[in-house]
Chains A and B, each alone.
Chain A
Amino acid sequence: MIAQPSSSSRLANFVAIGPGLLFVLCLFIVPLGVLALRSITDPHLGFGNYDTLVTSPTYLRVAWRTIWISVAAAMICAIAGTPVAYSLAHSDRRSRNTLMLAVLVLSFLTSSLIRTFSWMVIFGAQGPLSRMLDIFGWGPSGLLGSSTAVIVGMVHFLLPVYILTAFSGLRKVPYHLVAAAEGLGASRIFAVATVYLPLATPSIVNAGCVVFIIGVGFFITPALLGGPRQTMLAQLIARSVTQFGDFGFAAAGGVILLAITLGCLWIVRILARGGAPK
């Protein structure tokens, strides 16, 4: 039986979540509504901005590219970050864990502009990476202005976010089930793959979604490390504001970016539900 909450505890609940709700309402829902309204009223009433956006080959191309670059970055984060989060979540070696967390947080706190500029030097035609590739005969042209450069720069920013998010979820996965499976004769790898991973999937998917959402809005990394063929939606939106002050058009771009993000999350949720144990 579930105990019915008394009216006083309901009131207490409301008081407790009130400030949070108000915060979200004032700083997120209202501005978002204003933005959406602007997208259909500026410069004229109607869906002209959306019409321009969805019929523009440039925007369609760039929207598609934004999705695949962000998906690629999120997948690399999941592949490279999950083992780290796993070891952080279930290891008893305290001092090592502290050190790893400190490295992650420090890297996260370094300005993304500085990190991006560092990659510019590394990927540049005169940079160390290009000279190394030259030894293997891959030419001295450098990687600056390639999708590889953009994805590496994005992963560098997103990986700490991924690991920290996945870590907090993985900590709650009952690790003793792996030990139980081993006790029943499974190998460690088999136990992790069949017992642990299905339980960990929601945390991995969640963390992947978080970095995907951040990735979709990336601006400075593709601007500095990529070329025109790596242009992402946020850059086009920014350009329409700085060059022409087209607030309505930019707002429509923002709404579409949001819709794309929500659509992708929806697909991921369906896929994740299909993969998780019933």
Chain B
Amino acid sequence: MKYIPSKLAIRLAVAALSLTPAYAQQKLTISASGGSYDACVKQVYSDSFEKENGIKVVVGSPAYDTGVWRAQQESGKVEWDVATSDPGQLQQLVENGWVLPLDPKLLQSKGGLVDFPGMVTTKDNKVYALPSEIFSIVVTYNSDAFPGEKPRTWSDVFDVKRFPGKRLFSNSVVDFGVLEVALLADGVEPSKLYPLDVERALKKLDTIKSDIAWYDFGTQQIALLQQGEAVIGAGWDGRVKALQKEGVHVDFSPDQAIVKPDLWVLPKGANAEAGARFLRHIHDPQRQADFAKCIGYAPALKGAYSLLGTGQKFTIDPQDLSKVVPWGANYWAEHARDVTTRFNEWLTQ
């Protein structure tokens, strides 16, 4: 048997290890929101990005948890090169300096964004997030439960006589429009919605409190609708469309939809160059149109709407935004904590 000196073996091993990164592809870790969202990101955005740039895309943990953001930033071990966010969370990320400003030219390119208040968040004239699609909180219902008259507005959701059954609401008060919906149902004009009259909203919610099935997670929303646990309430247009594709008898009404953008951000301390390249990649009318078809949320780029093809209807009509209600990013930036405290007090009572 041939004798190999152990030192040589170690040197060979070290050499092999140190060579690997040089030959390995560059890697980009992205964080999406989990579930069907991740599947569409892969199908539309990341597979084509890999092919065009030769950078391998890895999907990391979801970024909606602000605690994970803080832990990553404080420990200096930033996992994501590019991450999803939403306007409520973005305020905290910007204030803490956990995200990098974007190239302002990026947002003005490719035909421009659908324009409503809260679409672009700026601080000191810098833009920190790229909107990619528009998420709507809509009147959602089980079509089998109401064979005759269909619910259309938020006041229908609060009308237990005409539309009996359990109501579906998220217990996350900041992000999913529970109070906004109650005030709209109570007859508040959309233009006068903010600042929210929290006590009035809770009073309105009191009228149906025993009929509400609250959910903690987005997946629960699907489960509760699917099992017929709740028959009407505030749902997300994309989730409803995903259920329709599966043959579940659910539908929604776009009237008084509360809209806000889904965002992408560049976490501080990561590979910002590759991350910015990914943002340029998704900021494309054709890709956004494909993504919208996959996920069911409306594109953020105006130019994407003409590429959607026939039979694709979205909650947003970029030509006429008078029917939708923009979610109040500025209001929530200031009041998220106190309103959450008050709401939880009411909720757990």
Q: Which of the residues A120, A126, A224, A241 comes within 8 Å of B65, measured between beta carbons?
A: A241
The stretch among B4-12, B105-113, B212-220, B275-283 that forms the contact with chain A is: B212-220
Are B220 and A224 within 8 A (Cβ)? Answer: yes
Within 8 A of B (CB), among A118-161: 120-121, 124-127, 141-142, 144-145
Count class of interface residues, chain B = 20 to 34
- The stretch of A87-95, A167-175, A189-197, A225-233 that contacts the partner chain: A225-233
Q: What's the Cα separation between A244 and B64 when bound, in Å? A: 11
State whether the Cβ of A242 lies closer than 8 Å to any Cβ in chain B.
yes
- The reply on A57 being an interface residue by CB < 8 A is yes
CB of B95, distance to nearest CB on chain A (Å): 11
**Chain A 23-66 near chain B by CB (<8 Å), digits 1 or 0:** 00000000000000000000000000000000011100110000
Give the complex CA separation of A139 and B36 in angstroms. Answer: 36
Question: Whole-angstrom distance between the alpha carbons of A57 and B348 in the complex?
Answer: 10
> Chain A nearest CB: distance from B167 CB in Å?
12
Q: Which of A117, A127, A236, A243 contacts B172 (CB 8 A)?
A: A243
Interface residue tally for chain A (C-beta within 8 Å): 31
Write the chain A residue with the least CB distance to B347: A228
Interface residues of A in 191-218 (CB under 8 A from B): none
Q: Are B213 and A241 in contact (CB under 8 A)?
A: no
How many angstroms between the C-alpha atoms of A60 and B195 in the bound complex?
29
Bound state CA distance, A12 and B213, in angstroms?
A: 60
Q: Chain B's nearest CB lies how many Å from the CB of A237? A: 10
* Beta-carbon contact of B340 and A227 below 8 Å: no
User: A263 on the interface (CB 8 Å rule)?
Assistant: no
A144 in contact with B348 given A227-B214, A244-B92 (CB within 8 Å): no
- The answer to whether A142 and B70 touch (CB under 8 A), given A120-B223, A228-B348, A243-B340, is no
* Chain B residues whose C-beta falls within 8 Å of the C-beta of A144 in the assembled complex: 213, 229
Say yes or no for A272: interface residue by CB 8 A criterion. no
Beyond A126-B229, A235-B216, 14 extra complex contacts between A and B, CB < 8 Å = A56-B341, A58-B345, A117-B223, A125-B229, A142-B229, A145-B213, A145-B214, A228-B214, A231-B347, A236-B344, A242-B64, A242-B66, A242-B67, A245-B92
